[in-house]
Structure 1
Amino acid sequence: MINFFLRKSILTIATIIAISTTLGMVRYHQANKIQNLPPLRIIKGEENLNQYSHKILETNDHIQPYINETTVRNGDTLSIILKRLKVSNSKEILKFLSANKNAKNMLRLLSGKPILAATDSLGNLIWLKYLHIPSSEQKGQIVSKYILLARDKNNIYTVTEKTESSKKQIRVAFGNINTSLFEATEYNGIPNFIAVQMADILKNKVDFLRGLRSGDHFIVIYEIQTLNGYLLGSGKVLAMEFKNHDKLYNAVWFDNNGKDKGSYYDFEGNNLQNAFLRNAVKFSRISSTFGRRLHPINKTWVDHKGVDYVAPAGTPIYATADGIVDFVGWQNGYGKVTILKHDNKYSTLYAHQSRIDPKILKGKKVYQGQLLGYVGSTGWATGPHLHYELRINNKPVNPLSVDLPTSKKIEQTNIENFKKKIAFYQTQINFLAKFNNETIKIAFNN
């Protein structure tokens, strides 16, 4: 165990590194509360939201409020909540609300929603912030609405509804494996969505179900979206390192400054994503494999040129590889079908769709994992399923057993941009890797 003084040294050095790269780095303790809470105060130090309760903080107008927080519980009234928030002039607040029906309606209480309050040294309410509406995404930005009860310049309380956009932050976390990846990420306050991404990024390198052992460890750098100190959602994993059975794997996100689609690469520039996915749909079972079969409708023996995946009608169908739409529409027994061309050699076919996504047009470029349409039973089909074909030089092959091509390395013209992109992440990962017996969580304000 790293002792107290070494721990402080680690944080000090980490701070110096972050400052040198123009990112402010502060130690982080709790997963879902960040340090950019209500606008009345300047936050200093290394505390989380709960630690602000009962503390005097500086403010822009030299009032020194106490910040308290709670969540609405079943059976709560506003009177009970104000008492929990240590508001001494609650009678004044309740009198104001009873006289202002519009304000009272705006403060309808919903169980589980957070409420924050700032009070002065006498316990009088300065403002109350109630995050009452679930966050939503607008143009890639997570936004949230909240109710603000506050005193105006004339010292009169008002209630208004506000909208704020989230802030993107970068977080670094370190974890040791004891039983599973998800146990380790939960213990270290890493969102589940990030854990799922970690497993997906290295799925071709690490067996996360059966291949982990005690002593494996990881470092991950990832994005989060926050508003008023609350985690609204997770972004993407930016970089990670995973040690499994004494073998080290790493990954970094690179999209050439937004010019390309983006993918995950190891630090040597090798693409970690296979060029083709094995499956285009989440299916319950395979009803027909590749090869000779008795046709279910005309009852004759024929060559089955693909694989049939049974799934409920309406199940999304995804492109298994980057490509160009070569055909989209109706085609005899295939019903509603999409055909994609991948380079000059490979093509894929997706048949019996109930509906084709309107964005899928002949000649358009599509990306691996992009929505093509939905499972159906159009054409010659006895029930909802996806008929999927993979062809090499226009000859059908078994998509379940054929050796699929690997993805390409970083193009030579992008090598310098790639090196610059990953330099900072490599520095952080290499530094934190020296202290793999200690859980270290750090937040970057971005």
Structure 2
Amino acid sequence: MASLLLMGVLALGVGTAGRYFVPSFSAPAEIFVQAAAPVVEEFTSSSPMQAVAEVAQGAAEMASAVMAPVPETISRIVELGEGRTFSRMLMDVGVPSNMAYASSRALGKVYDHRKLKAGEEFTLSITRLGQEETLDQLIFQPEPTKEISIVRLDTGAYEAVLKTTPLERQRFAARGKIKNSLFGAGEREGVPLAVMASLIRAYSHEVDFQRELRQGDTFEVLYDQPTAKDGTPVGQGVVVYAALSVGGKEKPLYRVTFGDGAVDYFDQKGRSIKRSLLRTPLDRVRVTSRYGMRRHPILGYSKMHKGVDFGARRGTPIFAAGSGVVEKAKYNGAYGRFILLRHNRRTQTAYAHMSRYAKGIHPGGRVKQGDVIGYVGTSGRSTGPHLHYEVRVDRKQVNPLSVSMPVGRILEGKVLREFKKGQKKIRKEFDALLEKRAEKQEKANNNAPLPPVKPAAATAQG
């Protein structure tokens, strides 16, 4: 009888175990063998019902041990959406609200939330345990030289750490051919736009970009550029040497730093390229109307046009043609948004039809030559976006494209001799860097994978 009862208990135990374990094990019989010995021992001092309960409990404990969730580490890259806060971005991807808010508070101690931009990417390290997720670490790079990591401590609190990578200064050389604009030519050769902007400002004294620069002209530039550890350009580069080939005529310039810290650019003869006024107050433009008599596009009759109109896209920056004081910055009837600068006792420049003024521009404020003072628009009496530019001498308009402008500083004696020696060194360095760049490019081209071979077109058989 005892033997029959024992078999009944074991059979019941197996049935109970089977209900819970068959999905997880390919051979349930093994459980029966492992459970047999303890069941016999317990049966000797327990009632049949207690034995059944204990067998079922043991089976459940084994199931729990086998099916317990294992912690899993996952990585996610999330992007800050337009109009979303940092904490909301985290909650949108499943980070618990308490962790999202704690991380946000930690970030605020090392970085201003207002500087976060839509589109910035954040790398999240998350531990998942069953249905629960814990944010362990978050890393992002707000600037090429800055990395912020937010880490979860053992206490459950979050701590943010800001690491700054020191900049390296490297010297680069580039040469290119102009197709549509000087900016575009520089961009094709990998020159940072900020460097090209500096080059254009320097040549704005010497070159009329509207009448002189043509398709097929070439440029050269040697520049120093601060870079991050990964080679990303950071901040403003410095043009050391440049040359424009305009209609077959070379126009080189060299940067010179004087003992008192003053910096200027000179041509190959040692004459400063600076003039009292820029020839053109913005780049990437076309002359749409010159100084003199013309048929007015709105009024319909001939009228003296006392300035030059430069056609350009809305929002194109407008440079101060010379250093001076802002006399007017207001809406001025047909001129629209208007700025009048005084450069000396006799000379003024005027800028009209702007879409808006640059930050900090107000009557009485001082500007330096090349500073951005406003942006191209079509305010006032205007048929399209353009800059109306005037030069006034003794309060009378003169032709901006032909007005005589005095030359700046001229190098002489020992300083001139040192300058000419420096020219040769700069030229030698430029050629060496350009050759090195060409070799690097050729190597990259040779290592590039070949394009896939297209199968030959099938021919019809007769």
TM-score of the pair, normalised by structure 2: 0.49
1:429 matches 2:426: yes
Asked if 1:171 is matched to 2:179, the reply is no
Q: What is the SS of the residue equivalent to 2:149?
A: strand
Aligned to 1:408: 408
Whole-Å separation in 2 of the counterparts to 1:179 and 1:344: 39
Amino acid at match of 2:254: A
The SS at the match of 2:278 is coil
Alignment of 1:75-224 (within 5 A): 132-135=140-143, 144-147=146-149, 160-165=159-164, 167-174=166-173, 191=192, 193-194=194-195, 197=198, 201=202, 204=206, 209-212=215-218, 220-224=222-226
Distance 1:440 1:351, change over 3 A: closer
Q: Is 1:295–1:302's contact at 8 Å kept on the other side of the alignment?
A: yes
Paired position in structure 2 for 1:326: 327
SS at match of 1:439: helix
Letter in 1 for 2:371: Q
Q: Provide the rounded CA distance (Å) in 1 between the counterparts of 2:197 and 2:437.
A: 20
Change (3 A) 1:170 1:272: farther
Q: CA deviation at 1:300?
A: 4.5
Q: Does the C-alpha gap of structure 1 residues 169 and 425 become closer, same or farther in structure 2, counting only changes over 3 Å?
A: farther
Q: 1:159 to 1:248 in 2, by over 3 A?
A: farther
Query: Distance between the aligned counterparts of 1:193 and 1:310, measured in 2?
Result: 22
Distance 1:199-1:377 versus aligned 2 partners, 3 A rule: closer
Matched to 2:148, the amino acid is: Y
Work out the CA distance in 1 between the residues paired with 2:431 and 2:314: 51
Give the corresponding residue for 2:252.
249
Q: Name the count of aligned residue pairs.
A: 318
More helix by share: 2
Alignment-derived partner of residue 240 in structure 1: 241
In structure 2, how many angstroms separate the alpha carbons of the residues matched to 1:419 and 1:335?
51
Structure 2 unaligned runs (5+)? 1-71, 77-94, 108-117, 124-135, 439-462
Q: Deviations over 1:73-100 (max 9, x none)?
A: xxxx97589xxxxxxxxxxxxxxx99x9
Q: State the Cα distance separating 1:439 from its structure 2 match.
A: 1.5
**Maintained 8 Å contact 1:166/1:225:** no
Is the contact between residue 148 and residue 162 of structure 1 (CA under 8 Å) also seen in structure 2? yes
Residues 241 and 429, structure 1, Cα contact 8 Å, conserved in 2: no
How many Å separate the matches in 2 of 1:160 and 1:398?
64
The offset of 1:290, in angstroms, is 2.4
Shift of 1:184: 11
Partner of 1:372, secondary structure, is strand
Shift of 1:329: 3.3
Change (3 A) 1:220 1:284: closer
**CA 1:113–1:328: 2 relative to 1, 3 Å:** closer
Contact 1:310 1:386 in 2 (8 A): yes
TM-align CA RMSD = 5.7
Larger gyration radius, structure 1 or structure 2: 2
Q: Is the Cα contact below 8 Å between 1:308 and 1:386 reproduced in 2?
A: yes
2:343 aligns to what? Answer: 342
Amino acid at match of 1:145: E
Distance 2:184 2:284 in 1: 27
Among all aligned residue pairs of Structure 1 and Structure 2, give the percentage whose two residues are the same amino acid.
23
Q: Which has the higher strand share?
A: 1
Q: Deviations over 1:391-445 (max 9, x none)?
A: 234332233x414525412699xx97x999x89976963663685784279xxxx
Secondary structure at 1:233 match in 2 = coil
Contact 1:144-1:165 within 8 A present in 2 as well: yes
How much does 1:309 deviate? 4.0
Distance in 2 of aligned mates of 1:178 and 1:293: 35
SS at match of 1:171: strand
Partner of 2:60: none
Deviations 1:295-314 (A, max 9, x none): 45555543221233455655
Bigger drift between 311-320 and 237-246 goes to 237-246
Deviations 1:94-117 (A, max 9, x none): xxx99x96699899xx999799xx
Paired residue for 1:231? 232
Code of the aligned partner of 2:226: I
Distance in 2 of aligned mates of 1:397 and 1:306: 7
Instruction: Report what 2:11 is aligned to.
Output: none
Residues 113/265 of structure 1: CA separation in 2 closer, same or farther (3 Å cut) = farther
Q: Which 5+ residue runs of structure 1 have no aligned equivalent? A: 1-76, 82-96, 116-127, 136-141, 442-446
Local SS of the residue matching 2:232: strand
Q: Secondary structure at the match of 1:409?
A: coil
Amino acid of the structure 1 residue aligned with 2:398: V
Distance apart, 1:222 and its partner CA: 0.4
Q: Would the alpha carbon gap of residues 329 and 149 (structure 1) be closer, same or farther in structure 2, given more than 3 Å must change?
A: closer
1:252–1:267 contact (8 Å) kept in structure 2: no
Do the aligned partners of residues 268 and 232 (structure 1) sit closer, same or farther apart at CA in structure 2, a change above 3 Å counting? Answer: same
| Structure 2 residue aligned with 1:37 | none
Q: Distance in 2 between matches of 1:189 and 1:382?
A: 36
Which SS does the other structure have where 2:392 is aligned? strand
Residues 290, 221 of structure 1: alpha-carbon distance in 2 compared, 3 angstrom cutoff: closer
Q: CA deviation at 1:249?
A: 3.4
* 8 Å Cα contact 2:353-2:387 kept in structure 1: yes
